[in-house]
Amino acid sequence: MRSTLCFLIAVLFCAPLSAQEPAKPAQKAIVEKIDLQDGDTLVFLGDSITHQCLYTQFVEDYFYTRYPKLRLHFHNAGVGGDRAKNALDRFDEDVAAFKPKYVTILLGMNDGAYRDFDAATFNTYQADMSTVLEKIAALGATAVPMTPTMFDSRAKVLRNDVVEPRNTYYNGVLALYGGWLREQALARGLGFVDMYSPLNNLTLQQRKQNANWTMIADGVHPEASGQLVMALAVLDDMVAKSSVGSILVQERRGKMAATARNGKVSEFDAGESIRFTHLANALPWVLSPNVAQGFALTNAAHRHSSERLTMRHLKPGKYEVKIDGQPIGQWTDTQLAAGVALESNDKTPQYQQALKVALLNKDRNDTAYHPIRDQWAQLKGRRRDIEKLTAANDPQLDAKKAEFEQWKNGMMEKVAALRAKAKEFEDQIYAANQPKPHTYEIALVK
């Protein structure tokens, strides 16, 4: 008996660990960056906040100006009021048809139903969102889920909206949805963008000075400044850090010379004034004027569009800098030695060129893409009507379905025409965003 017991103990302690502990599943590495190459397409899938065509437009502007040699394609697939289930209804036509490399997903604001946390509602969101992620994976594309944005309860009160319990808790419900989405990104090895924290953090910071400050006046839809914060979240979390470039002029081996990062300097001459030609590889990230306040508030240009001119070993004094014969500013030798920022200087020709790109893209979104999204919103409403008629066994159902199909054919023709218009704008953008050589002259002010 004793020998048997000893044998059993020996077997127990000598058994391989794999027999005692099941092997843990391998963890997938999360996708760190959106890596777009020539010809690639990025789709923005979402609800009304994407339908606004703002944060998407600002991200597009960044890629147009930072990577002008790449022909990239962007498709806004936002529809007002959408939940994950609605996104699935149009997935094949509105997402898969564009053969995307990446699909960002901004859903959840409507999925929570603007109510206290409800397990059944959340389970529906989980199931439908999981299906969205699986369908994107089946395309061979990379999903980049993004947390729901901020629900600004104070803004709702300031608008004298009906005071509802949700004004005190719905922002917290969205945080839970975003937390689950983060875990999905980690488990599935996806990209991930935190939209929620930057909006909430900036709002808290500003309300320390002004208790009524908001960038989401209706409590749900961020305005231009808030949409810029969202675009910055995409860049911060999913786009490789880079600068527009820099020029350094300094004495080397007894004479002045110039070097450039992300660009090329030629025709350098250091006579009475310093002159050279510079050809950059990129343009500064400039947005349309309606975003100027948000751009300054977030320090966006410095964070994602650094463009510097540095000049050392100059004689003491004040210098005027001209580009293509036009003065862009005056700085002392000390300031130039420390480096001056050009990315927000609207007197430079590269700034004006980038602004032209941004305005073209604004027109592309305002006159082509936003109307496309409006058409898709109408389609959702008409599909809902057919579903109601089907559920009610309406005797006119067949006739109504035929009418719907006729309308949808016309709708798709309108969408095709609008997409052709968007393509024309895209062609203009890629003609306007090519960097040009500029002549710099730096002279001591007499």
Q: The CATH number of the domain where 52 resides is what?
A: 3.40.50.1110
Q: Is the pLDDT of residue 11 over 50?
A: no
Average pLDDT of the segment spanning 93-97: 98
Question: Span 137-159, mean pLDDT?
Answer: 93
> Are residues 198 and 55 in contact, defined by beta-carbon separation less than 8 angstroms?
no
Specify whether 105 is located in the same domain as 135: yes
389 to 350, 407, 434: CA distances (angstroms)? 57, 17, 53
pLDDT band at 2 (very low <50, low <70, confident <90, very high): very low
Residues 45 and 86 in one domain: yes
Q: Is residue 73, in this structure, part of any structural domain at all?
A: yes
- State the average pLDDT over residues 94-103: 98
Q: DSSP 3-state helix, strand, coil percentages of the chain (rounded to 5)?
A: 50, 20, 30
142-146 and 326-332 beta bridge pairing: unpaired
Looking at residue 379, its pLDDT comes to 97
By three-state DSSP, how is residue 57 classified?
helix
**Residue where a domain stops, chosen among 238, 269, 292:** 238
Whether 356 and 432 map to the same domain: the answer is yes
pLDDT digits (tens, 9 = 90+) for 178-202: 999 999 999 999 999 999 999 999 9
How large a percentage of the chain has pLDDT more than 70? 93
Residue 1 lies in a domain: no
How many residues are present in the chain?
446
* Residue 26 placed within a domain: no
Among 110-114, 178-182, 296-300, 401-405, where is mean pLDDT lowest?
296-300
Rounded average pLDDT over 397-401:
94
Kindly report, residue by residue over 48-75, the tens digit of the pLDDT: 999 999 999 999 999 999 999 999 999 9
Domain that holds residue 103: 41-238
Domain end position, chosen among 178, 213, 238: 238
CA distance 412 to 420: 12
Instruction: Read off the tokens for 152.
Output: 């600004």
Question: Over 70: is that where the pLDDT of 165 sits?
Answer: no
The mean pLDDT of the chain is 92
Please return the burial class of 123, using the count of CB atoms within 10 Å of its CB with bins 0-12, 13-18 and 19+.
Answer: exposed
Residue 330 has pLDDT above 90, yes or no: yes
Q: 255 and 215 share a domain? A: no
Give the pLDDT score at 21.
56
221-to-18, 103, 369, 386 alpha-carbon distances in Å? 53, 21, 18, 29
pLDDT digits (tens, 9 = 90+) for 250-282: 999 889 999 999 999 999 999 889 999 999 999
Give the integer Cα–Cα distance in Å for 386 and 359: 40
Q: For residue 291, is it within any domain?
A: no
Q: Does 25 map to a domain?
A: no
Q: Is residue 257 domain-shared with residue 141, that is, in the same domain? A: no
Please, which pLDDT band fits residue 9 given cuts at 50, 70 and 90?
Answer: very low
Does residue 270 share a domain with residue 191?
A: no
Smallest CA-to-CA distance from 53 within 37, 77, 29, 72 is with 77
User: What pTM did the predictor assign?
Assistant: 0.92
Residues 252 and 233 in one domain: no
Residue 337: predicted pLDDT: 98
Query: Considering the domain boundaries, does residue 413 fall inside one?
Result: yes
